[in-house]
Structure 1
């Protein structure tokens, strides 16, 4: 056998080994990275993006406030005014909140500042949605609602802010008199047994299709004066605020929620 043949034999073995390695490399086999279970549940979407999907809980159906009660007296129903497919804050009756308590969820709600709004800064259609109501008054985590269309105020208090915490990424407000759309993803805080925070809350807020809060890490419950702080709680109601402004009151419609 020639010296050239002897040199060729180990080369053949090397090439064969390389070919075999390529055949057995899991990274080269598509099936190795395919996951078949668990199969995601089927959710039938609404006809329009704002329509409730099949697994949603409808919190306002356009006819009654049966899903809500007064915060001042939980034994009493919500006393706000119902009109043609929407309801309006009835000043002086206090905040209202859902009968059902929630943890993590996707929330859709629509609201309208009246066309004849008056006042300036915070005294202009002011309300808010508290993503977890932890007590009477304004305890909880507030996403601000007010007229921020050509109405100057402190930026961590304008529409779409995590009130006194997170400044919105944009001002996407429509003119007073037009319906506006919130889509909110809320991941509630988790607590240790001793009440310390295991995992802070996060929130994503979209107004009229525009991202205002991008997985914002919430610093604690809303405080008008002073720094936010957490206190231990579990599942909680969603609360809407009667701010008590002298200007015309804000209205709401088409509220639904998906538990996550």
Structure 2
């Protein structure tokens, strides 16, 4: 017979109750709503003189190719993020010029040249029937981690990202105490499985880390000739 002290059941702490939302649309009860279909009060514009380049119509946010990117006003460390997006049904272009956007899970600003965005980007791209380099297709941590699957839906259909982000931690001297990690589901399919990043996800050159703390989230306006991409139902849960 086992002793009572050998039992391994644990009863504390009791997990908080959360009312789940629908797969599309409704957010869970404890979520921070970043975009609910009404306004962009939680975001800042790259081009504040032209806010209409990010248009909210019938609960949907659509980005113009000349808009510049959109960044949250608040900063975050670890979180669960939900986002829905749509690439236009009549999309044109090929390769990286076909519905190109991205989510910077932690945005660090522009590089020293002032030309390129720095941070940790998970790619948005039309790869339903469009080939490109595999570490730059939808579901990739850009230029760093190839997705485990291509779960892209056809242009014109709404698609989802559900992402768990763990921000990196740094020692006082700037060295990495623990790397960033990401788990991501694209349209319900696992595409990144607790991947530990080697640093930021630059377009040119190898990844590297530089010390930072809590950072904003950024929706990229890539500025290529592709038709505009739309977003809806953006929320997160801080972890």
Give the TM-score normalised by the residue count of structure 1.
0.85
CA distance in 2: counterparts of 1:23 and 1:213, whole angstroms? 42
Q: How does 1:1-260 map to 2 (within 5 A)?
A: 22=1, 24=3, 26-27=5-6, 32-46=7-21, 48-50=22-24, 51-71=26-46, 79-136=53-110, 137-260=116-239
CA distance in 2: counterparts of 1:213 and 1:89, whole angstroms? 26
**Structure with greater strand percent:** 2
By relative contact order (CA 8 Å, sep 6+), the higher-ranking structure is 2
CA distance in 1: counterparts of 2:83 and 2:2, whole angstroms? 54
Q: Does the 8 Å contact 1:202/1:215 carry over to 2?
A: yes
TM-aligned CA distance change 1:24 to 1:145, over 3 Å: closer
Q: Does the 8 Å contact 1:68/1:78 carry over to 2?
A: no
Show structure 2 runs of 5+ residues with no match: 111-115
Residue by residue, what CA displacement relative to the aligned partner does 1:133-167 show, whole Å, maximum 9, x if unpaired?
A: 11145211000001011101000000000000000
Deviation at 1:111, TM superposition (A): 0.4
Give the TM-score normalised by the residue count of structure 2.
0.92
Deviation at 1:72, TM superposition (A): 5.6
Residue by residue, what CA displacement relative to the aligned partner does 1:33-60 show, whole Å, maximum 9, x if unpaired?
A: 23222221121112x2332111000110
CA distance in 1: counterparts of 2:91 and 2:32, whole angstroms? 32
CA distance in 2: counterparts of 1:128 and 1:62, whole angstroms? 20
Q: In structure 1, what is the equivalent of residue 113 of structure 2? A: none
Deviation at 1:26, TM superposition (A): 3.8
The two structures, once aligned, show a CA RMSD in angstroms of: 1.8
How many residues were matched structurally? Answer: 233
Higher gyration radius (CA)? 1
